[in-house]
Amino acid sequence: MPADGYLDYLELPARDVAAMKKFYAAAFGWSFVDYGPDYVEFDAHGRKGGFNAERKSVSSGGALVVLYANDLDAMEAKVSAAGGDVTEHHSFPGGRRFHFRDPSGNEIAVWSDK
């Protein structure tokens, strides 16, 4: 049984569930289980969450989801090719990262320590 406070699940707003599935499969290789037309669960290499069409609005300034990449430049190319809108780049003492917006407008970051 997980401890209290364990981060168990991540749910993102989805204006278009099909577009979200297509994007995250192409960019990151995630898999999906559909639970009706307005909800899909994703499996991000062992971490689960969902895309919820009932929560269509994306709020600015909310929590930032950060993904990891072994090769940041290659991952940025995959995100762009899949239709992600890369919005900014950062370098910091432990590595670097970029931010992008997915098809529903959610801001996501990808970082690498290499």
Neighbours of 75 (CB within 10 A): 20
**Tokens describing residue 107:** 């801001």
Name the token pair of 88.
């900014």
Give the integer Cα–Cα distance in Å for 84 and 77: 10
**Per-residue confidence (pLDDT) for residue 114, from 0 to 100:** 73
Reading the block at residue 96, the tokens are 């670097």
Across the strands, what pairs with 95?
92
Q: Name the residue ranges covered by the structural domains of the chain.
A: 10-112
User: What is the second-level CATH architecture of the domain 10-112?
Assistant: Roll (3.10)
Residue 14: partners with Cβ closer than 8 Å, 6 or more residues away: 20, 40, 51, 52, 53, 55, 56, 104
- The pLDDT assigned to 102 comes to 94
Render the burial of 58-68: b for 16+ CB within 10 Å, e for the rest.
beeeeeeeebe
List the structure tokens of 113. Answer: 């320590």
Q: Tens-digit pLDDT profile for the chain (114 aa)?
A: 778 678 788 989 999 999 999 999 999 999 999 998 899 999 999 999 999 988 777 766 677 899 999 999 999 999 999 999 999 999 998 999 999 999 999 999 999 997
